[in-house]
Chain A
Amino acid sequence: MDEIFGIPAPLLFGQLLLGLINGAFYALLSLGLAVIFGMLNVINFTHGAQFMMGAFVAWMLLHYFGIGYWWALLLAPLIVGFTGVVIEKTMISRLYKLDHLYGLLLTFGVGLIIEGLFRNQYGSSGMPYRIPPELQGAWDLGFMFMPVYRGWVVIVAIVMCLATWLVIEKTKLGSYLRAATENPALVQAFGINVPRMMTLTYGAGVALAAFAGVLAAPIYSVNPQMGANLIIIVFAVVVIGGMGSILGSVVTGFALGVIEGFTRVFYPEASATVIFVVMAIVLLLRPAGLFGRA
């Protein structure tokens, strides 16, 4: 098992792993986008900036307060989620009666502000964030060495996606959420505070982005632009998967990460663009997206 399709096995599996890691972030971010879109009908353009904020809050917690990775994993999503609640309350909630595109323009503007502020404060170069000691080292899987942290990211991302799916599909809160997505007026008539649910949904979606940001901090360097380019790829992922289904967006995220990884092995020049090519093909064959409802 030294070579597969003429490619050395360690290289192939290495890129496959890298693809899974990227896929984990695509999945977490597109999941957050789908949850927010389902409830608010707003595409959250700030999502990339909030992912970046998650990583930065983790870095700040460590740098200024000496609070480590494990607490950051809990605190950063809460802090960034809270800023999301404020954004929804003060700004986004004013736009629900207007054309949906205004929500996109607003969140784009908010993203620019956040990114600009961080760039002013911390410059464009990246900040290192160390892997926590418990997750350092690598496992020997026989055919390759697997850095523990990378395995951890993939597993945690899968767990988090499943947890979100369970909350939405199997709990009472989730049933309210799904009902309010279908018909907010009726749900409100049953005495459920729909505006508050929308606020909390936005906060939760943002928290999910921040959680992904903390996970990403030790892998990518923490810098103000880390979210902006990622989010455009995630948009493509969302278009491919369609935002109709939670599990659909998770599966699409991981699958596209893996496809990207394989492309990097077999035709590296196209690795940056392959997801957009997939998007074009899907749009030609199934305009509503793989899991979307037309």
Chain B
Amino acid sequence: MAGPGFSGGDFKHEEQVFLGFTRTQLIAFVLMVVLVVVSPFYFYPVFLMKVLCFALFACAFNLLIGYVGLLSFGHAAYFGMGGYLAGHAAKEWGLPPEIAILIGGATGAILGLVIGAIAIRRQGIYFAMITLAFAQMVYFFCLQAPFTGGEDGIQSIPRGVLFGVFNLNSDMTMYWLTAGVFLIGFLLVHRIVHSPFGMVLKSIRENEPRATSLGYRTDDYKLMAFVLSAALSGVAGGTKSIVFGIATLTDVFWTMSGEVVLMSLVGGLGTIFGPVMGAVVIITMQNYLAEFGAWVTVIQGVIFVLCVLAFRRGIVGEIGNWLKVRL
């Protein structure tokens, strides 16, 4: 692949001090945890939960684009299907929320395994087109399948009682669960990226033929990364439908796939904190501009264009570049 890729930039090697974090990353992580803990006392928890769900979704997406160099343009499929199945499990089967969210993740993983196995047969632009096409197929399936409720979606999904102890109908309790899911997902992505497995992924991103010649079955690694990313997207989607009590077609539509790309791009592709930052920025923007209708689409398009033309490192990438550290 020609030209600079989607990595966060090349900086001097910093020692990893804790959980694979460098010192700066650890400071940023602690800062993020503090913000996650403190913010529900200052902001509307439901809004924050939405941000956290999308932040996890964007982190999952970034695992592919940032560390394997695969641009999936169909991640809405795993997010939306995870949401549908989690909602169905909680509402129709009466399963507790923790199981419902796990079912969302399993849905994402299975769907990711099927689609991923076919999509990784092509690279680059074709990969993006194939994933987009399959996601559209999933969308049409959801439009017709009886259990999704078609245009209405699945409504009034109960939040339920977590572990049979914590009643999630309280927004604050729901918030702590969402925050926990997000932090676990975030650390998991971070752990994957910094494991030996993650090193192989990065080597595939940098030079796939070379990785093959070193004896790695690169297709297996790519598929594994794809499944992990899809599973986490499913968890994010499942959590979102438990939070909002609704699962709709919006979450499987191609615009949603575009939005998660935008979040990662704005925050910084291939940075650990970028997708989180991107989710905060985009969801906040949507929240304030919601009354302007189609202008949201126009503004998102403008941000896309500006990011690609002038701002390819994204917010976190720019900060990292300025501080000369990898964030």
| Chain A residues with CB below 8 A from B180, complex form | none
CB distance from A74 to the nearest CB of B (A): 29
CB distance from B205 to the nearest CB of A (A): 11
Q: Mark each residue of chain A from 104 to 133: 1 if its CB lies under 8 Å from any CB of chain B, else 0.
A: 111011111111110110000000000000
In the assembled complex, B33 has its CB within 8 A of some CB on chain A: no
In the assembled complex, A207 has its CB within 8 A of some CB on chain B: no
B133 lies within 8 A of A236 (CB): yes
A100 lies within 8 A of B2 (CB): yes
In the assembled complex, B118 has its CB within 8 A of some CB on chain A: yes
| Chain A residues with CB below 8 A from B5, complex form | 99
- For A236, the closest partner residue in chain B by CB is B133
In the assembled complex, A272 has its CB within 8 A of some CB on chain B: yes
CA distance A283 to B130 in the complex (A): 9
A97 lies within 8 A of B3 (CB): yes
| Chain B residues with CB below 8 A from A101, complex form | 6, 71, 124-125, 128
A106 lies within 8 A of B297 (CB): no
A99 lies within 8 A of B1 (CB): yes
B144 lies within 8 A of A269 (CB): yes
A98 lies within 8 A of B2 (CB): yes
Interface residue count for A (Cβ, 8 Å)? 44
In the assembled complex, B166 has its CB within 8 A of some CB on chain A: no
A239 lies within 8 A of B3 (CB): no
A94 lies within 8 A of B309 (CB): yes
CB distance from B209 to the nearest CB of A (A): 14
Q: A236-B133, A272-B140 are known contacts. Are A287 and B122 too (CB-CB below 8 A)?
A: yes
A95's partner among B132, B134, B308 (CB-CB below 8 A) is B308
In the assembled complex, A235 has its CB within 8 A of some CB on chain B: yes
In the assembled complex, B303 has its CB within 8 A of some CB on chain A: yes
Interface residue count for B (Cβ, 8 Å)? 48
In the assembled complex, A136 has its CB within 8 A of some CB on chain B: no
In the assembled complex, A187 has its CB within 8 A of some CB on chain B: no
- Secondary structure at the B interface, as helix, strand, loop or mixed, is helix
Q: A269-B144, A287-B121 are known contacts. Are A100 and B312 too (CB-CB below 8 A)?
A: no
| Chain B residues with CB below 8 A from A116, complex form | 294-301
In the assembled complex, B302 has its CB within 8 A of some CB on chain A: yes
B141's partner among A102, A105, A232, A273 (CB-CB below 8 A) is A273
Q: Mark each residue of chain A from 253 to 294: 1 if its CB lies under 8 Å from any CB of chain B, else 0.
A: 000000000000000010011001101100110010000000
CA distance A102 to B82 in the complex (A): 29
B305 lies within 8 A of A232 (CB): no
CA distance A43 to B127 in the complex (A): 12
B6's partner among A94, A95, A99 (CB-CB below 8 A) is A99
- For A272, the closest partner residue in chain B by CB is B140
CA distance A113 to B296 in the complex (A): 9
CA distance A112 to B297 in the complex (A): 6
CA distance A116 to B295 in the complex (A): 6
In the assembled complex, B197 has its CB within 8 A of some CB on chain A: no
B118's partner among A95, A106, A238, A280 (CB-CB below 8 A) is A280
B133's partner among A91, A239, A269 (CB-CB below 8 A) is A239
CA distance A30 to B6 in the complex (A): 28
Which residues of A pack against B, CB within 8 Å? 37, 43, 91, 94-95, 97-102, 104-106, 108-117, 119-120, 228-229, 232-233, 235-236, 238-239, 269, 272-273, 276-277, 279-280, 283-284, 287
A-B contact pairs, 14 of them (CB 8 A): A91-B305, A98-B3, A99-B2, A100-B124, A109-B308, A111-B301, A112-B298, A116-B296, A117-B298, A235-B132, A239-B130, A239-B133, A283-B118, A284-B121
Which residues of B pack against A, CB within 8 Å? 1-6, 71, 73, 118-119, 121-122, 124-126, 128-130, 132-134, 136-137, 140-141, 143-144, 254, 258, 261, 265, 293-305, 307-309, 312
Known: A116-B298, A120-B295, A238-B129. 17 other contacts (CB 8 A): A95-B308, A98-B2, A99-B4, A100-B2, A104-B73, A106-B308, A108-B258, A109-B308, A112-B297, A113-B297, A116-B296, A119-B294, A228-B254, A239-B122, A239-B126, A276-B133, A287-B121
Which 8 interchain pairs have the tightest Cβ spacing? Answer: A109-B304, A112-B301, A116-B297, A113-B301, A116-B298, A276-B137, A119-B294, A236-B133
